[in-house]
Amino acid sequence: MTQTATGEAARDRVERAALELFTSRGFDAVTADEVADAAGISRRTFFRYYPAKADAVWGDFAAHVERLDRLLHSADGGRPVLATVCAAYAEVNDYRDDDLPALRQRMRLILTEPALQAHSQLRYAEIDRVVAEHVARSTADDPAGLLPRLVAASTRAAATTAFAAWLADERTALGDQLRRTFDELAAGFPSLRG
Amino acid sequence: MTQTATGEAARDRVERAALELFTSRGFDAVTADEVADAAGISRRTFFRYYPAKADAVWGDFAAHVERLDRLLHSADGGRPVLATVCAAYAEVNDYRDDDLPALRQRMRLILTEPALQAHSQLRYAEIDRVVAEHVARSTADDPAGLLPRLVAASTRAAATTAFAAWLADERTALGDQLRRTFDELAAGFPSLRG
DNA sequence: CTTGCTCCTGGCACTGGGTGCCACTAGCCT
DNA sequence: AGGCTAGTGGCACCCAGTGCCAGGAGCAAG
């Protein structure tokens, strides 16, 4: 219990330090040693917490994916699949206002730093798997089939695009941006025809 | 001239060796030294040819992107944007039959090896930029705006999905697979409603 | 032929990410 | 107290990638 508590606290310190250092000096210019030092742990322990330097930016991403999975499992089967996926994305990313600055910082890093951009693909693959499985359940299809894969990949593309737009424009809420972007996708890009 | 020729030949040897070694033993289990040795060049020269080990799999990708860019620039402006992008993707990936085995090998590596999957994001970003610029030209929009980004990201998602489906199913041609996948995307996933 | 220039190459050494191994400590159970 | 377990840190190692420098091939002018 105490160990878990200190472990959690240490992880929190690491993630704060990582966000701070990477933002101010750039991901590549900061060594894992520096992050570990700033968090008061050893380099070795850092790499036990996070399998890669980049993972310190993502926090507990497995829990994130698990939440998304649960939401999709418990979703109303009568609703259109895209609407369900959009709502799940929106709910998973519905942060408290106090957490928004950290979220912005994290997403800005992930979307701009090449090394993190590359690493993100590995995280996104976990999301895609969960979404593809949901589509497969809804359509009695193979999760590895064309449609589940396509829906997973393109909704994820929509979500990251929405994130980028949200970062660029401080005014609109993330949830609204997600819904707007999904609408565009689901309707086959109506503004291209207008 | 002779230098360029040997340089080209050496690059060719490297790419063959890389494909062969990575396929048989896995990307991570093969060191850059081994690839360099197999191609008859030094490790140092290997990293002058390719900035990263993963780049040996991609060949001359810049030329690929440039071809795509030219195709999009010279496309018929009256045609729907998605159709133009689809046709450009199909034409850029219209390989001779002799080259298909190598293409399959390459794509299988890129889509299955985690390290290559991650690295691919950096290459895809170049494609996305070109496509987003095309959409922006067609709609008199900002390339960094929502619609160009969304179209670029989701068409790229469609293209990679089509590639994966093509890998899984030997029977259908790559171009047909691309067109089928783009149709699904452009129509807002009609098979989800059926 | 020789000198000088340029480009390509390879060797060397170094940084930094990531990992296996081991020794140490802290709690905890009996 | 003795033994078990889990977390930690130090150490050594491998490998990707880079800067630097020393050759060597080709070419031009003398």
Say which DSSP state A143 is in: T
Position B160 pLDDT exceeds 80: yes
C-alpha distances in Å from residue B59, one per residue of A144, B13, B63, B107: 28, 11, 9, 12
Is B158 in contact with A158 (Cβ distance < 8 A)?
A: no
Q: Measure B59 CA to D11 C1' (Å).
A: 40
Q: Measure A50 CA to D18 C1' (Å).
A: 26
Tens digit of each residue's pLDDT (9 = 90 or more) over A22-63: 999 999 999 999 999 999 999 999 999 999 999 999 999 999
Superfamily of domain B60-193 in the CATH hierarchy: Tetracycline Repressor, domain 2 (1.10.357.10)
Which tokens is A21 given? 């250092």
B2-56 folds as Arc Repressor Mutant, subunit A (1.10.10)
Using an 8 Å CB-CB cutoff, list chain A residues near B156.
157
Position A4 pLDDT exceeds 80: no
Confidence grade of residue B69 (pLDDT, cut at 50, 70, 90): very high
Q: Is the CB of A44 under 7 A from strand D?
A: yes
B140-169 burial, b at 16+ Cβ within 10 Å, e below that, comes to ebebeebbbbbbbbbbbbbbbbbbbbbbbe
Using an 8 Å CB-CB cutoff, list chain A residues near B136.
none
Q: Does A171 touch chain B (CB under 8 A)?
A: no
Give the chain B residue whose CA is nearest to the CA of A183.
B188
CATH 3.30.365.10 fits A60-189, yes or no: no
Q: Indicate if A60-189 has the same CATH topology as A2-53.
A: no
Q: Measure B14 CA to C3 C1' (Å).
A: 37
Please give the share of chain B, as a percent, with pLDDT higher than 70.
96
**Structural domain boundaries in chain B:** 2-56, 60-193
Class of A2-53 in CATH? mainly alpha
Phi-psi category of residue A142: left, alpha or beta, with phi > 0 → left and psi -120 to 50 → alpha: beta
Lowest model confidence (mean pLDDT) among A8-17, B2-11, B97-106: B2-11
